[in-house]
Amino acid sequence: MSLNSKLQRHDSSNSWTDLKIFVKDVHDRYGRKRAISVKSWSTVKDVKDILQQHLHVPPSAQRLYFGPLMTSGGELPNYRSLQDAGIYTSGKTLLLEIKGAANAEVSSISSLRSTAASDVCVSSAVLDVTPKALRRIVQQARRGFALGLKPDLVLDGSGGTYFLHDARKVRVAVFKPADEEPYAVNNPRGYVSQGPASTDDSMSLRRGISPGELCLREVAAFLLDHDGFSSVPLTTLAEARHHAFNTNGSRIKVNEGGAAIGSHCLAPKAVDLSTEKKVGSIQEFVRAEYSMDDLSPSKLDADEVHKIAILDIRILNADRNSANLLCRRNQEDPDKFELVPIDHGYCLRSECDVSWFDWCWLDWPQLKQPLSQESKDYVLKLDIEADCRMLQERLNIGTEALDYFRSSSKLLQAGVKAGLTLYDIAVMCCRNDDAGKFNFGSAPTSR
Contacts of 309 (CB under 8 A, 6+ apart): 359, 361, 367, 422, 426
- The residues pairing with 355 across neighbouring beta strands, listed in sequence order, are 431
pLDDT in tens, 67-93: 776 655 578 888 888 888 888 888 888
Nearest to 72 by CA among 205, 238, 236: 238
**Which span out of 92-101, 260-269, 405-414 was modeled with the highest average pLDDT?**
405-414
Does 10 score more than 50 pLDDT? no
- The residues pairing with 35 across neighbouring beta strands, listed in sequence order, are 22
In 77-205, DSSP assigns E strands to 93-98, 119-122, 152-153, 162-165, 171-177
Q: What is the pLDDT of residue 275?
A: 66
Contact 178, 72 (CB under 8 A): yes
- The residues pairing with 66 across neighbouring beta strands, listed in sequence order, are 94
Q: What is the pLDDT of residue 445?
A: 46
444 vs 330, higher pLDDT: 330
Q: How far apart are CA 280 and CA 108, in angstroms?
A: 19
Does 178 score more than 60 pLDDT? yes
**Which span out of 57-61, 252-256, 270-274, 278-282 was modeled with the highest average pLDDT?**
278-282
Number of C-beta neighbours around residue 445 at 10 A: 13
Nearest to 330 by CA among 280, 275, 289, 271: 289
